[in-house]
Amino acid sequence: MTTALLKHPIGKTYPIVSHGKGVFLYDVEGKDYIDGSSGAMTANIGHGVEEIADVMRKQASEVAFAFFNQFSNKPAEDLATKLASLAPGNLNWVSFVNSGSEASEYAIRLVLNYWRSKGLSRKVKILGRHTSYHGVTMGAVSMSGHATRRADYGPLLHPFPVVPPAYAYRYAGDLSEADYARKCAQDWEDALLREGIDTVAAVIVEPIVGAAGGVLMPPAGYFTMLREICDRLGVLLIMDEVITGLGRTGAWFASIGEGIVPDIITTGKGTSAGYAPMAAIIVHEHIIETLRQNSAAPPYGHTFSGNPVGAAVSLAVLNYVEREKLLENANLRGEELKAGLEAFSQRYSHMVDVRGRGLLWGFEFVMDRASRRAPDESRNTSATFVADCFDNGLIVYPAGVPPLNNAVIISPPLIISGDEVQELLRRLDTALATMDGRID
Ligand code: PLP
């Protein structure tokens, strides 16, 4: 097979993609793949949508670039208005960046500016959780509880995150969901007090943990308790909705489903559904009001911040999600996917803990159900399974932080049809049978 040489200098090669249509991608040899993970939980409206390409062309021919510190532009203004209208509560100030990692970086700088403007410049720490991922740049990876992605940069990073994840399958033990939620919230309060709240600026959490955990669902009530703790202790709450934002969970934002209004939401991936590099920080008006009152500026942007083409594309993508009722489709197809995954979990004894919402689903492989012991790290279980699926024409996403590299994410485009869900399940079935044999 023709492979790309651009990526991994050691070992790994990739087929060269030729084109995409709907939920399918095709390589240059003509093989088709169901994009069962939307790439990296990104391609929300699927591939090859002509009307988005038309918007891109039209915008590029009108104005492709105008520097954010010299001009605003209409698509960026309209996109900001759209995002503010979709976000919960009074999150109505928006800034644009080009990736989820940059959104994390911006959030760090913004919360520091906020506290400094109030005369509290000692508040600089941002607490995160073990088993989390907020991006690959230095600040973002510093906040991430992802040992592998931190590994090579240790001396430059802030300390490893201090708060345990909400990960019921592994850590709830005999606790009820309500008691486990209380315990996880208490972990936050303990950590904040231990670190010293006069030094903590913010906490950052993924509403549903993605790549680091394989779709870890929060116990009911957990985020309301975390919101209350942050308010009581004077700490800002950043929700990293880079995966969950803009439709993936069958709602515009997972924070809405959790019934909370964060201080800051970060987005990426689904913001443009992959048609352009585009990400956003959506900020509560109280933060902007404080900066304004203290004559403090929000952080500086990037050369490409609010790029007119990216903004026009994102706006068209969000309008497409709305017009085609893709949140509703995500919930309907999500139920079918869940039913199929649960049936597999009955059949394949090593596949456990089907978990998710909307079109964001995950599960784990274990050696045996009773002990819940994960396969040994050296087996590279999730990567091996992903490779089996790939051979079989299905793209799924590996998840979990070693030693728990045993989880998988299924997150197809939100446009997926009922028949395509069944085809995805058929291709998954073949790979599950292979994996069952590998583990026995
Ligand atoms: N936050 C979360 C939850 C993510 O999953 C990711 C990427 O996977 C990021 C941030 C970083 O986004 P990007 O890869 O666009 O920099």
Q: 293-340, pLDDT tens digit by residue?
A: 999 989 999 999 999 999 999 999 999 999 999 999 999 999 999 999
What is the model's pLDDT at position 155?
Answer: 87
Report the separation in Å between the CA atom of 360 and the middle of ligand 1, taken as the mean of its atom positions.
15
What is the model's pLDDT at position 337?
Answer: 98
Report the separation in Å between the CA atom of 242 and the middle of ligand 1, taken as the mean of its atom positions.
6
d(CA 310, CA 315) in angstroms, rounded, equals 9
Contact 397, 41 (CB under 8 A): yes
Which region among 19-23, 125-129, 152-156 has the lowest average model confidence (pLDDT)? 152-156
Residue 60's region, left for phi above 0, alpha for psi from -120 to 50, else beta, is alpha
Between 12 and 270, the more confident residue is 270
Q: Is 38 in the pocket of ligand 1 (CB under 6 A)?
A: no
Q: Is 33 in the pocket of ligand 1 (CB under 6 A)?
A: no
Report the separation in Å between the CA atom of 215 and the middle of ligand 1, taken as the mean of its atom positions.
14
Residue 215's region, left for phi above 0, alpha for psi from -120 to 50, else beta, is left
Residue 141: pLDDT over 70: yes
Mean residue pLDDT across the chain: 96
Q: 33-52, pLDDT tens digit by residue?
A: 999 999 999 999 999 999 99
Atom of ligand 1 minimally distant from the CA of 104 = 10
Confidence of residue 94 (pLDDT cuts 50, 70, 90): very high
Atom of ligand 1 minimally distant from the CA of 277 = 15
d(CA 45, CA 326) in angstroms, rounded, equals 8
Residue 130: pLDDT over 70: yes
Q: Is 433 in the pocket of ligand 1 (CB under 6 A)?
A: no
Report the separation in Å between the CA atom of 135 and the middle of ligand 1, taken as the mean of its atom positions.
5
Tokens 């403007």 label which residue? 117
Q: Would you call 288 helix, strand, or coil by DSSP?
A: helix
What is the model's pLDDT at position 204?
Answer: 98
% of the chain residues with pLDDT over 70: 98
Q: Is 268 in the pocket of ligand 1 (CB under 6 A)?
A: yes
Which of 239, 202, 187, 193 lies closest to 123 in space, CA to CA? 202
% of the chain residues with pLDDT over 90: 92
Report the separation in Å between the CA atom of 318 and the middle of ligand 1, taken as the mean of its atom positions.
19
Which of 118, 86, 105 lies closest to 158 in space, CA to CA? 105
What is the model's pLDDT at position 3?
Answer: 56
Q: Is 206 in the pocket of ligand 1 (CB under 6 A)?
A: yes
Which of 331, 326, 263 lies closest to 291 in space, CA to CA? 263
* Dihedral sign for Cα atoms in the order 265, 257, 323, 328: positive
Q: 178-226, pLDDT tens digit by residue?
A: 999 999 999 999 999 999 999 999 999 999 999 999 999 999 999 999 9
Residue 2: pLDDT over 70: no
